[in-house]
Amino acid sequence: MKLDYRFQDPALAELALTHRSAGRPNNERMEFLGDALLGAVVGEMLFDAHPRASEGELSRLRAQLVNGQALAVVARELELGDGLKLGSGELKSGGFRRDSILADAFEALVAAVYLDGGFDACRDTVRGLFAQRVADLPRSSKDAKTRLQEWLQARGLPLPVYELAGSHGEDHAKVFEVTCNIAEPAPLCAAASGPSRRAAEQDAAEIVLGQLTEPLPPA
């Protein structure tokens, strides 16, 4: 593992890399905490880096950095797959290469740093991993749906399809769930929720854009 942090309690790092398929205890609870910590620290970084961005723009930028595929990329850079503890079924199916398992392990590892060294250590670690990623974000003022449409059109590819997956909540606080689907250059589907259908579509489009910027898996 290439994480630039030395654990006082190595058992926390080991637990963070223990998938539920390996039994209990495992990293599921730590994933929950790590997700919240990542959102807070990356949100702070974006808040500082984009002083004129609206709430919606900041949310879309964060979705581009903090999603399953993007976090799996970070996990691979840290070589977390080499240290994963998996059950026999996941081992046989190559679970150490799966985006969802790697992303969850990275979130759990962020929580492990927090539990071991406190918030400042966690914040410093996350900022070190995401500083260049924040700096590399495009500074386009166009919304995510427009940018996704233009990206596809420039390559002669079919436009995205947005579908309303559902909605829930009282009329004054309704939450809409939407998916954004593209067929090429590879089938991708992203789900997002928001206080309006349009807001959810924007967030889903941002996630797809983030996935398109990463290398596509081999056919």
Which pLDDT belongs to residue 141? 53
- Asked if the model's pLDDT at residue 51 lies above 90, the reply is no
> What tokens were used for 12?
């926390």
Look at residues 17, 1, 2 and name the one whose alpha carbon lies nearest to residue 112: 17
* pLDDT, average across residues 13-38: 94
Confidence of residue 140 (pLDDT cuts 50, 70, 90): low
- Asked if the model's pLDDT at residue 217 lies above 50, the reply is no
195-215: pLDDT as tens digits: 889 889 988 998 998 888 654
| DSSP single-letter state for residue 79 | T
* pLDDT, average across residues 97-121: 94
- Catalytic, 35? Answer yes
140 vs 106 pLDDT, higher one: 106
Question: What's the distance, CA 29 to chain centroid?
Answer: 17
- Catalytic, 136? Answer no
Out of 31, 99, 107, 203, pick the active-site residue: 107
Out of 31, 35, 57, 206, pick the active-site residue: 35
